[in-house]
Amino acid sequence: MTVKRTIDPFTVEVIKRALISAAEQMFVAFGRTSKSSVIYEVLDYGCAVTDARARMIAQANGIPPFIGVLTDAVREIINKFGLDGLNEGDVIIINDPYMGGATHQNDVVLVMPVFYEGHPIMFAASKGHWNDIGGKDPGSWSPNATEIYQEGLQFPAVKLSKNGKEVQGIVDILTRNIRIPEMILGDMRAQAASLQVAANRIT
């Protein structure tokens, strides 16, 4: 005998609005704490919440192409680490155009698993334009590049933070290879902190 579970429409609406609010607060937090005008004035970023199977369930206003590919980035992360390979406080960085979720290296995706009672139930994800990611040209815009290696650093879904602590090696690589590290690291930390804002709202 199977038991049919039903949820009344009022509860559905409350949960729906709470998830949208979490995504919108993530968007506002990133914009207000960023150091780059391309984020806080141009709004060249997007934020969303997915379920544990990388299906989008809430989004904030932002660049539509950015929001549309966040699910691809989350899916790549799940495929690489598995849900069991993720811990509370982890932040994964991905900007590899060949892995999904990125359009070019400057558009960097950060993803945080959201845990409830010890299990990852959702993902907070955001994608923002970083003003420099290394490469042969300032700003990492290289219209005459002949290969992807000339366009800056590639992050193939690696952990930027583990258990809530930054991976110093990743930060050192960034600092050494970008032209404006203070600004970029400020944006990176603003983006990561905005994920935590969403996670706190969800749980």
Give pLDDT, residue 104: 86
CA–CA distances in Å: residue 100 to residues 66, 73, 113, 188: 11, 5, 18, 19
Mean pLDDT in consecutive groups of 10 residues from the start of the chain, 203 residues? 77 94 98 96 96 96 87 96 97 92 88 97 97 90 89 95 97 96 97 98 93
Angle between helices 168-177 and 181-202 (to 10 degrees): 140
pTM, to two decimals: 0.94
Q: Positive or negative, the Cα torsion across 82, 200, 168, 103?
A: positive
Angle between helices 181-202 and 9-33 (to 10 degrees): 160
What is the residue-wise DSSP string for 45-81? EEEEEEETTS-EEEE-SS-HHHHHHHHHHHHHHHHHH
Written as six digits, the tokens of 112 are: 């945080």
% of the chain exceeding 90 in pLDDT: 80
CA–CA gap between residue 47 and residue 198 (Å, rounded): 10
Q: How far does Cα 33 stand from its chain's mean position?
A: 15
